[in-house]
Every structure is written in C-alpha cells, then in structure tokens.
C-alpha cells in the first residue's frame, strides 16, 4: 500500500482508501484527497482493447490500492452488470461535431449511476476490511439525481440504511417521483423547505455533530456519505473519461497521444474534478471546459479568481446544477494552494463566514487547464432545439448547458480539438423542459404523455426507470424545515 488520503483541512489526518470511503468526510469537515495522483500503468493502446469493466479495474486499482484484486474486481462485476441497458456501459454518440459520452444508461438514467452502482459494494467491502461492526447510515443531500441513484444502489443492502434529503420544490417532477416511490426497508426520503445548498449544509452539519456521533455509536450506527464528497464516488467517475478516450482511439477517431477537450456540465464540481484527475493520471486532455447554468458561481470563479455565493439562487430547467456551494471545488483549491491544508482552511473559513474567498494570482495561474462559461435558460432551450432540428438527436437540459458552452468556447478560441461532452442525464428525466424547448405545443400535455411523445420523436425506447414510476405508489411523504433535519434522522433510526 502506497497511496494514502489526507484531509484538505488538516495535514495530520492520513487514512487508507477504504477508511476514507467509510468516513466520507474528514472529522475536521475537510474532504479526503490522495497524497499523490498515480500515473496510469497501462498504455493507451492497451486500454483501447479493454471493456468498461477492465478499464475500471486498471484505473481504480491505482487509486484504491488497499483493496485486493479479488475485492475490487468483485465490486466492479456487481456494479456494471445488467442494470445498464447497453453493453458498453457508457457509449459515445457523435453529433454536431462532438462526441457525446452517454452516462445515463444505468438504473436511474443519470450519470450518478456510474459511481453509485459501485459505491455500496466499495463501502460494504471497506467495512469488512476495517472490522466495522456498526450499521452504516448513508446520509445524502441531492439536487435531483444523486438521491435516486444512491437509493437504488443501497436499497436493501445488508448492514446499511440510507437517508436522502432533497429540496421539495427544486427538482423535476420525474426526479421527485423516482425518489418518493423508492422501495426498500432501509430507505428514507425527506423533502426540505429550502434549496439544495440548504440540504447540503444541513447534512454537513449533521456529520460534524460530535454529540450525535456519540449517541449513534452507542446505538450501533455510524454515518457515511454517498455525495461526491466521498472519494468512493469520485474515483469511479475518473474511469469513464479514460474509457471514452480509449473508445475514440479504438474506433480510429483519434491518433495515439492525440489530445482531446472535455466539456462537463457541473454544479458541485465533482464530475469535472474526475476529468482533472484523469488528466493528472496521464490521459491526454487539453482543456477542461466547465459549463454552468444561470447559477454561474463557477464561471465567475474561473473568470475572476473570486468565489462568491452571495447572490440570488436561480431555479432553472437544469436543476441538478442549481448549486451555489460547489463542495468538490475544495479539492482543487487544496491542490492549487500547494497541497496546503492551512491555506485551504483559511479560504473555507472565509467562505463559511463571509460567503466568499479569493485565490492568489499564483493559484489562479494554475487554472490554465480550465475554461469556464455559462448558458442562459433561453440559450439552453435553443441548443436542445437546434441539435434536434439538425440531426434528430435529443439531449437533456444539463447536457445542453455543456453543448451551449462548448459552442461559446469554439467561437471564442477557434480551437478545433476533438471534444467529448459529458451527457449526464437522459432527456426522459426532464421531459417537459426538453419537449418545450423543441416545440411549445407540447406544454399542454401531461408528464407521461410527454414521455410517449419523446419516445416517438427521438426513436429511443422509454427507459425502464420511467416505466417503473408510471403507476408506482408514493412511499415517502415526509417534508421538514431545514432546522428539523437532525431530528428526522434520529426519528428514522429510532434514537
């Protein structure tokens, strides 16, 4: 074992990969980061001959090096199976001069499945490795997609319970229906009267409650997280960027060592951070293009060097990106601060106390790999329509944010590097917004009428995830104030 994980806020904290996965969040509130990023030890040509599962093993064995080969391969085999409706797991579709990496072929039709299909297996394996006797309580905040993917992943997994908080009026109707109809005796879903940032802050507060931790331990429970603050969520996301490159190489779309650009629609910064880690492992990535919606806190950060969440929170048609506190950015800040926990802590304290912080010019110079821009609601709808009109390909509202920003990047830079766009959700998840963008005549239809209409125009079969919720009964009806989140956790656990 050579790779350890440290807290972004305390240099003295040092744990193995399995311990970092179990804890989710460091005791000081920091995030776990690898003390170095290992280089890929297979050539790109070798990777191009591998299946998704084989690429997953080659990437993850380097980042999770306290797992045995048997343990890791077992987790991978159980994750990437018939839950995915394509053999390729993450197919690439060429449209409008770019390659759309479809990350939504899992059980809940969003990219979160790519990591949340394997996290329960990594977590239960980690618990065994570390002789944990407590039941693991997964505590998660969601802006729409993580919740259902985590619920589906952990439902009825022995030794675990899962509690998901979501903003009651901040997700799409399909997203909400997916969560509140979730089966499983160990699952609990709670709507909060607030936005995603309120949910995320509340969850972090519960994690930091030492008194509650003591009570939980006495009752035989301990918390972990399924959010992208958990390194066990982030590492599997590195895989699909390596896989996408290997497919382009295998299909003769690029030459050996040719660089590509990657465009990622992001709110919490985890998905693009995974691409950054892939680049640092040796993947030939040129630009990391960070696409925001009208909650453009990341665009402003890349433009000015100041992160400032003191602004209006906008509810958009890409709700999974309606975020003003991008938790995973902390991992990048720590890195560009020269892996200084002290400097990072200072900036995070400023964010907590004043709602903002500013990085130094030396730190900003290290962000040259990134390009940030954003899409307005009108631009986003326009992109969905223009791609559909030109080639019949239907994308969802989040992927459209990425495609819009990619068009702006090309216009601005004239860069014609081949580009992969992370397509993060099925259009079926946001049918009303997608169909309205294509033609306003659809607005009078009901949600499931729209599903059938989308099937007609896209010629893509309605995913099982949607069929399952057409008539499913609502099983979770709890709604609470932000201040009541901790009490709801105790109530569910009976403590």
Whole-angstrom Cα distance, residue 233 to residue 122? Answer: 10
Beta strands in 305-426 (DSSP E): 306-308, 356-358, 370-374, 419-423
Whole-angstrom Cα distance, residue 480 to residue 152? Answer: 23
Kindly state the tokens that stand for 175.
């997203």
Structural contact between residues 239 and 294, judged by C-beta atoms closer than 8 angstroms? no
Helix or strand run (H / E) with residue 260: strand 260-265
Place of tokens 């995603």: 196
Helix or strand run (H / E) with residue 264: strand 260-265
Structural contact between residues 230 and 162, judged by C-beta atoms closer than 8 angstroms? no
CA 25 and chain centroid, separation: 16
Structural contact between residues 271 and 290, judged by C-beta atoms closer than 8 angstroms? no
Q: How many CA atoms lie within 13 A of 312 on its CB side?
A: 4
| Cβ-based neighbours of 231, under 8 Å, separated by 6 or more | 5, 17, 20, 21, 31, 32, 33, 34
Distances (CA, A) of 341 to 6, 12, 30, 287, 398: 9, 9, 9, 27, 33
| Cβ-based neighbours of 292, under 8 Å, separated by 6 or more | 265, 266, 267, 298, 299, 321, 372, 373, 374, 375, 401, 405
Q: Is 439 helix (H, G, I), strand (E, B) or coil?
A: coil
| 168 belongs to the catalytic site | no
CA dihedral of 462, 245, 81, 138, whole degrees rounded to 10: -90
Beta-bridge partner residues of 110 = 425
Q: Of the listed 112, 204, 287, 296, which one is catalytic?
A: 112
Distances (CA, A) of 72 to 34, 124, 401, 452: 18, 12, 35, 40
Q: What are the residue numbers of the active site?
A: 112
């Amino acid at each position: 074992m050579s790779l350890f994980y440290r807290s972004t806020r305390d240099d003295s904290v040092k744990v193995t990969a399995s311990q970092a996965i179990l804890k989710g969040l460091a005791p000081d509130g920091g995030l776990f980061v690898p003390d170095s990023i290992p280089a890929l030890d297979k050539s790109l040509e070798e990777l191009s001959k591998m299946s998704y599962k084989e690429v997953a093993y080659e990437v993850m064995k380097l980042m999770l090096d306290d797992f045995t080969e048997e343990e890791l391969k077992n987790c991978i085999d159980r994750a990437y199976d018939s839950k995915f409706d394509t053999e390729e797991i993450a197919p690439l579709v060429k449209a409008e001069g770019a390659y759309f990496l479809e990350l939504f072929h899992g059980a809940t039709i969003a990219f979160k499945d790519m990591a949340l299909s394997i996290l329960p297996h990594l977590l239960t394996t980690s618990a065994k490795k570390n002789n944990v006797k407590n039941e693991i309580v997964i505590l998660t905040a969601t802006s729409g997609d993580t919740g259902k993917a985590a619920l589906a992943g952990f439902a009825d997994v022995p030794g675990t319970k899962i509690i998901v908080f979501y903003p009651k009026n901040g997700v799409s109707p399909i997203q909400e229906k997916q969560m509140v109809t979730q089966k499983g005796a160990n699952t609990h879903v709670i709507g909060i009267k607030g936005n995603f940032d309120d949910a995320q802050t509340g969850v972090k507060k519960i994690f930091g409650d030492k008194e509650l931790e003591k009570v939980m331990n006495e009752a035989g429970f301990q918390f972990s997280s399924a959010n992208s603050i958990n390194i066990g969520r982030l590492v599997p996301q590195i895989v699909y960027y390596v896989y996408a490159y290997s497919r382009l190489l295998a299909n003769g779309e690029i030459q050996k060592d040719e660089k590509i650009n990657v465009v990622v629609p992001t709110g919490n910064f985890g998905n693009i951070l995974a691409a950054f880690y892939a680049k640092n492992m040796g993947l030939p990535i040129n630009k990391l293009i960070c696409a925001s919606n009208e909650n453009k806190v990341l665009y402003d950060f890349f433009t000015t060097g100041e992160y400032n969440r003191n602004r209006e929170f906008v509810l958009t048609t890409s709700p999974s990106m309606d975020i003003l506190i991008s938790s995973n950015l902390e991992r990048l800040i720590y890195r560009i601060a020269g892996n200084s926990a002290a400097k990072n802590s200072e900036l995070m304290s400023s964010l907590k106390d004043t709602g903002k912080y500013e990085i130094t010019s030396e730190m900003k110079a290290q962000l040259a790999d990134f390009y940030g821009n954003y899409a307005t609601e009108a631009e986003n709808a326009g992109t969905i329509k223009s791609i559909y009109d030109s080639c019949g390909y239907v994308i969802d509202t989040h992927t459209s944010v990425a495609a819009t920003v990619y068009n702006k990047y090309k216009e601005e830079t004239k860069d014609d590097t081949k580009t992969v766009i992370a397509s993060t959700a099925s259009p079926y998840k946001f049918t009303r917004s997608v169909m309205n963008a294509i033609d306003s005549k659809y607005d009078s239809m009901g949600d499931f009428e729209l599903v059938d209409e989308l099937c007609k125009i896209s010629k893509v079969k309605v995913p099982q995830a949607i069929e399952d919720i057409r008539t499913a009964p609502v099983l979770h009806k709890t709604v609470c104030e932000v201040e009541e989140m901790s009490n709801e956790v105790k109530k569910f656990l009976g403590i």
